[in-house]
Structure 1
Amino acid sequence: MRSPIPDYLNQVLDTCGADGSGELAAYIPELAEADPDRFALALATVDGTVYGVGDDEVEFSIQSISKPFAYALALAQHGLDRVLEKVGVEPSGDAFNELSLEVDTGRPLNPMINAGALTVHALIDDETVRRGFSAFAGRELEVDEEVFTSELETADRNRAIAFMLRSHGIVEEDAQEVVEGYTRQCSVLVTVRDLALMAATLANGGVQPVTGQRVVPHEVTRQVMAVMATCGMYDAAGDWFSSVGIPAKSGVAGGLIGALPGQAGLATFSPRLDRHGNSVRGVQVFERLSRDMGMHLMEVPPPARSLVRGRTALPGGRPGHGWTYELQGSVNFVGMERVLRYLADEPPTESTVVLDLTRVHEVRDIGRRMLIEAVRRLVLDGHQVTIVDPEDMLEAFPDDHADGDLDAGDGVAVPVLRRR
């Protein structure tokens, strides 16, 4: 069967493509020559499937969409505390190229405006950007030298921002070199497919969905997507998040990305911009996708299914001997809270308890800790507990083929069966 998803994405392009409003980024000569009718859309799932329609193989410069990825690389290299010393995380409410700093600290307000992006770039180098962006995309990316030259010739406002940052001691490097490096960062060539995969890498906790490479730590992606949600669309960020609800970032070449945590990366390309510097048709596409597919982060999901799938007597067991509790889905806080409540309301009276994780597809850190605590208390109550964990979801042991014991604290060692 042929997937209906490309047909749906093409339908979205057809619906939103009729709007011819907006203007090209004429202040950059090379971008002023772009074909205003280019239009593309791509969706990349966190398991590596990419759907692209329209002009999805046309390359264009990444521009300000580079900001969240440079921010991620700086966080990975220096850590959050060090980066926060240089740039904040508060929405500015100003245009992307505003000459503004925090009154008390002298820091740029956030890394998504130019002042913050120049500061972030000063924390990394050109080679880090090249290798990092390529790792996010899953292929080697190159710089459009013509766009770089054209943009550098008209970068006086960014020079003014860089000298302002240097005068406040935020940037210590040569201001001209920082502007040149940042401009080169913005001139990296991408397609919407590249951008969808880059966004999907953020959505996938820092692991590139196709290559399987961990590009940045999981905690870095959480920080980046949080700042994208509040600051990524500049002075339109509030309207964007209330109507679309997807962490996003735009670029003046017409690109627009969104990262939906745990689900997908989205990208559009249409060069005509609104007064905020965001793609007119790109914004419409995201509004449509959010509405049709329930992608708004504040969309209230249905109540989670119980983590306890069922309870069965142990094979060959006699009455009162033991039971297997089969868990399913995601072992997270909500799921384990229900398990703990289930065990408290109906405490097992049998001597043997087996917790079977065969149908579990994910174990969050908090869920793992709650599960271990539940096991510890069962053992202290006099039960013999065994965990069946064929996929090693608890990640408690080296990657060998032997069974082992889980240290649950208080001298409690619980057998773990990694294979049936």
Structure 2
Amino acid sequence: MKTPVPDYLQHVLAQCHSNQLGALADYIPELAQADPNKLALALSTVDGTIYSTGDDEVEFTIQSMSKPFAYALAIHHLGLDAVLAKVGVEPSGEAFNQIALDKNNNLPKNPMINSGAITTHSLLPHEPEISRAENLRRFLSELAERELSFDDAVYASEVKTAFRNKSIGYMLRTVGVLNEDPDEIVNGYIQQCAIKVTVKDLAKMASVLANGGVQGSTGKRILSRAVVRQMLSVMMTCGMYDAAGDWLTTVGIPAKSGVAGGIFGALPGQVGIAVFSPKLDEHGNSVRGVEIFERLSRDMGLHVMEGTPSAQTIVQRRYILGTKQNVVVYELRGVLQFTESEMLLRILQDEPIANTCIVLDITNISLIHEVGARMLFEGVDRLIEDGHTVYVIDSEKLLEQKHSHQGHAVVIREELEVFLNKLVQQ
């Protein structure tokens, strides 16, 4: 059996592909030359499994999506109090490149707008032979599990037109937020934004955040839970600029966008998601990227306010009954939402193609989200296509339907033991 997750992601991409609204970031010459038709989507589970589709090998510059990672690295390096002494955490409600500071303390309002990001860049670790941007590149490479590089052409293009950011840098120097040459800091910040990534890189980075700072594929802790919590909190309230309120209500996933067309999001305990589509809306966010996130959140029940807990495992027990036909029983426990359904389907796809009876017992499932039921029945149909006979034991009547999407009568409203006794006697 092949897990249906890749097919679903392809379906979402196809549904959003026709959206031609928005415009390229033409104030940066190199970005104005981007292919507006590029479109990619990647999703990573907390254990590091990657699903991707579309132009998922295309590299683009990380731009403002570097801001939360720079913020995390600064906190990791200096501690939260030292960073808070330079950059606040309040949503600004203003454009990302607004030349303004908090009127009460003359500090940038948060690290996601340019004034806060430039200040945060000045707090990154550096040495005479290793720049701040290089240290961030190394950090992002560790998160992405591959060596990332700078896009020198985009960097040069942005430096030539960085008049507004340089104005912000000099404003920060004037009020004492910056203690060094503002040109050097702004140039370093621009280079930080010119690191090249793919959606798969961003999804991997996001999955570390979703997993509380631990890299699922290696088990290595890269960031403390406290740093990740601070990072995601600021992303939730400030990551989508002056569209943050709309994003919170419609998508509900801590996220950050970039003017090259990328958006990444991390839902704690569940998934990391990244999209890429270069055309932007009036807020500087990818038009198709926002639409994709809205669909994923709605279809998969990923809004942070859903509040349903995620399990580390969904299969409590698997065993084989020795009858005339092979009977494989899966006893499930916990909740069945996207994360658990994906985990279950990944386990079931290892079942060999054979004339086997597979029994899925959901008696001890406490909650089934709509996406969980949909994915469960999709997996059932695919197992049947592989030659299996499949039954779903639903003695608690958690499922509204008794038939799979393909019309197979698979739901049994009996206790597992009663059904297995009947099965053995056949």
* TM superposition score normalised by structure 1: 0.71
Match of 1:244 among 248, 251, 260: 251
Distance 2:308 2:198 in 1: 33
Which residue pairs with 1:184 in the alignment? Answer: 191
What residue is the counterpart of 1:18 in the other structure? Answer: 18
The Cα shift of 1:173 comes to 1.4
Structure 1 CA distance, aligned partners of 2:181 and 2:206? 31
Q: Which residue is 1:292 aligned to?
A: 299
Q: 1:291 to 1:102 in 2, by over 3 A?
A: same
Residue equivalent to 1:165: 172
- The equivalent residue for 2:273 is 266
Unpaired segments ≥5 residues, structure 2: 125-131, 317-332, 336-426
Work out whether residues 56 and 191 of structure 1, in 8 Å CA contact, stay in contact via their aligned partners in 2. Answer: yes
3-state secondary structure, aligned to 2:273: strand
- What is the number of equivalent residue pairs in this alignment? 308
- Counterparts of 2:135 and 2:62, CA distance in 1: 16
Aligned mates of 1:19, 1:192 — CA distance in 2: 19
1:298 counterpart SS class: helix
2:35 equivalent to 1:35: yes
In 1, Cα distance between equivalents of 2:219 and 2:2 = 26
Cα deviation for residue 329 of structure 1 reads: 7.5
Tell me how far 1:84 sits from its aligned partner: 0.2
Deviation at 1:130, TM superposition (A): 1.7
- Secondary structure in structure 2 of the residue aligned to 1:37: coil
Shift of 1:303: 12
- The answer to whether the 8 Å contact 1:135/1:208 transfers is no
Query: 1:212 Cα deviation (Å)?
Result: 3.0
1:215 maps to what in 2? 222
Aligned position for 2:85: 85
Partners of 1:25 and 1:148 in 2: CA distance: 14
Task: Give the structure 1 partner of residue 348 of structure 2.
Answer: none
Q: Is the 8 Å Cα contact of residues 138 and 208 (structure 1) preserved in structure 2?
A: no
* Structure 2 match to 1:152: 159
Other structure's SS at 1:25 match: coil
2:135 — aligned with what? Answer: 128
In 2, Cα distance between equivalents of 1:275 and 1:329: 42
- Counterpart of 1:24 in 2: which secondary structure? coil
Over the matched positions of the two proteins, sequence identity in percent amounts to: 61
Bigger radius of gyration: 1
Whole-angstrom distance in 2 between the partners of 1:21 and 1:100: 30
Between the aligned partners of 2:99 and 2:180, the Cα distance in structure 1 is 19
Q: Could you tell me how far apart the structure 2 residues matched to 1:128 and 1:329 are?
A: 41
> Which 10-residue stretch deviates more, 127-136 or 46-55?
127-136
Contact 2:270 2:310 in 1 (8 A): no
Please tell me whether the aligned partners of residues 43 and 203 of structure 2 are also in contact (alpha carbons under 8 angstroms). yes
Gaps of 5+ in 1: 310-327, 331-420
CA, structure 1 residues 238+89, in 2 after alignment: closer, same or farther (shift >3 Å)? same
One-letter code of the match for 2:141?
S
For 1:92 and 1:299, the matched residues in 2 are separated by: 26
User: Are the aligned partners of 1:248 and 1:258 in contact in 2 as well (CA < 8 Å)?
Assistant: yes
**CA deviation digits over 1:123-179, x for unaligned, max 9?**
012232121111111111100000000011111100000110111111111100001
Partner of 1:6: 6
Partner amino acid, structure 2, of 1:100: A
- Deviation per residue, 1:290-343 (Å, 9 max, x gap): 000000001143899xxxx9xxxxxxxxxxxxxxxxxx989xxxxxxxxxxxxx
1:181-222: CA deviation from partner (whole Å, max 9, x where unpaired)? 100100000000000011111111112222333222111000
Match in the other structure for 2:240 = 233
Relative contact order, higher structure (CA 8 A, sep 6+): 2
Mapped contact 1:137–1:198 kept (Cα < 8 A):
yes
Conserved in 2, the CA contact under 8 Å of 1:132 and 1:215? no
How big is the shift at 1:94?
0.2
Specify the code of the residue in structure 1 equivalent to 2:5: I
Provide the rounded CA distance (Å) in 2 between the counterparts of 1:303 and 1:180: 42
What is the alpha-carbon distance in structure 2 between the residues aligned to residue 162 and residue 261 of structure 1?
34
Match of 1:109 in 2: 109
Aligned equivalents of 1:11, 1:110: Cα separation in 2? 36
- Contact kept, 8 Å, 1:62 with 1:255, in 2: the verdict is yes
Contact map agreement 2:243 2:283 (CA 8 A) in 1: yes
- Structure 1 counterpart of 2:208: 201
Letter matched to residue 52 of structure 1: S
**Quick check: 1:162–1:178 contact (8 Å CA) kept in 2?**
yes
Equivalent residue, structure 1, for 2:308: 301
- Per-residue CA deviation, residues 235-272 of structure 1 (Å, 9 max, x unaligned), is 00000001110000000000001100011100000000
> TM-score, normalised to structure 2's length?
0.70
CA deviation digits over 1:67-125, x for unaligned, max 9?
00000000100111000000000000000000111112111000000000000000012
